[in-house]
Amino acid sequence: MFSGLWRQLLNISPNANKFRTIMLSATYTQAAIDTIKILFSYNDNSFKIFNATKLRPEIDYWVANKVDEITRKDRVLESVLHIPRPLILYTTKVVDANKYIALFQNEGFNSIAVVTGSSTNNERDMVIKEWKDGTLDFVVATSAFGLGIDYKHTRSIIHACIPETLNRFYQEVGRGGRDGKSSVSLLLPTFEDQELAYSMNSTKIIGNQKGFERWKRMFQNKIQINELSDEYVIDLYTSPGQGNDFQIKGIKDWNIHVLLLMVKAQLIQLCGIPKNKEFIEDDFDRYIIIRILNEEHMSETIWYKSIDIIRSTIYKSNEESLNLFLQFMNQKECPADVIARLYQITVNSKEYDVSKLCSNCILCRDGNKIHTMAPSKKAYPLINKDINNIEKYLGFESIMVEYTLEDLNKIRRFDSKFTKVITNLIIHKIQNYMFTNESKKLFLSEKIQNSIKRMTFFIETINKLSEVTIKARNYPKSGIVLFLDPYMDITSHITNILNKKNNIIFILKDSYDPTHSQRKLSDVYKYEIMNIEEFINKVS
Q: Residue 253 in contact with residue 196, Cβ under 8 Å?
A: no
Q: Residue 168 in contact with residue 29, Cβ under 8 Å?
A: no
Question: What is residue 385's predicted lDDT score, i.e. its pLDDT?
Answer: 46
Kindly report the pTM of this predicted structure: 0.67
Q: How far apart are CA 198 and CA 322, in angstroms?
A: 8
Q: How far apart are CA 369 and CA 366, in angstroms?
A: 8
Fold of 389-539: Rossmann fold (3.40.50)
pLDDT digits (tens, 9 = 90+) for 438-478: 998 888 888 888 888 778 788 888 999 988 888 887 776 66
Q: Residue 204 in contact with residue 171, Cβ under 8 Å?
A: no
What type of residue is 257? H
Are 59-201+331-365 and 389-539 in the same CATH fold? yes
Domains of the chain, by residue range, sit at 2-50+205-306, 59-201+331-365, 389-539
Q: What is the mean pLDDT of the chain?
A: 86
φ/ψ (deg, to 5) at 182: -65, 150
364/353: higher pLDDT: 353
The SS3 call for residue 335 is helix
Torsion-angle region of 331 (φ positive above 0: left; ψ -120 to 50: alpha; else: beta): left
Q: How far apart are CA 171 and CA 146, in angstroms?
A: 7
Q: What is the DSSP string of 366-407?
A: TT--SSB---SB-SSPPP-TT--HHHHHHS-S-EEEEE-HHH
Q: How far apart are CA 287 and CA 295, in angstroms?
A: 22
Q: How far apart are CA 26 and CA 263, in angstroms?
A: 25
pLDDT digits (tens, 9 = 90+) for 447-456: 888 888 778 7
Strand partners of residue 481: 433, 504
Burial level of 238, CB count in 10 A (0-12/13-18/19+)? buried
Q: DSSP code of 413?
A: H
Question: What is residue 244's predicted lDDT score, i.e. its pLDDT?
Answer: 45
The SS3 call for residue 459 is strand
Question: What is residue 2's predicted lDDT score, i.e. its pLDDT?
Answer: 85
Check whether 246 has a pLDDT greater than 60: no
The hierarchical CATH code for the domain 59-201+331-365 is: 3.40.50.300
Nearest Cα residue to 144 out of 124, 170, 164: 124
Q: How far apart are CA 482 and CA 65, in angstroms?
A: 18
Check whether 100 has a pLDDT greater than 50: yes
pLDDT digits (tens, 9 = 90+) for 21-70: 999 888 899 999 999 999 988 777 788 899 888 898 889 999 999 999 99
Judged by average pLDDT, the poorest of 85-94, 366-375, 513-522 is: 366-375
Q: How many CB atoms neighbour CB 281 within 10 A? A: 8
Pairing of β 458-462 and β 432-436: parallel
Q: How many residues does the chain have?
A: 540
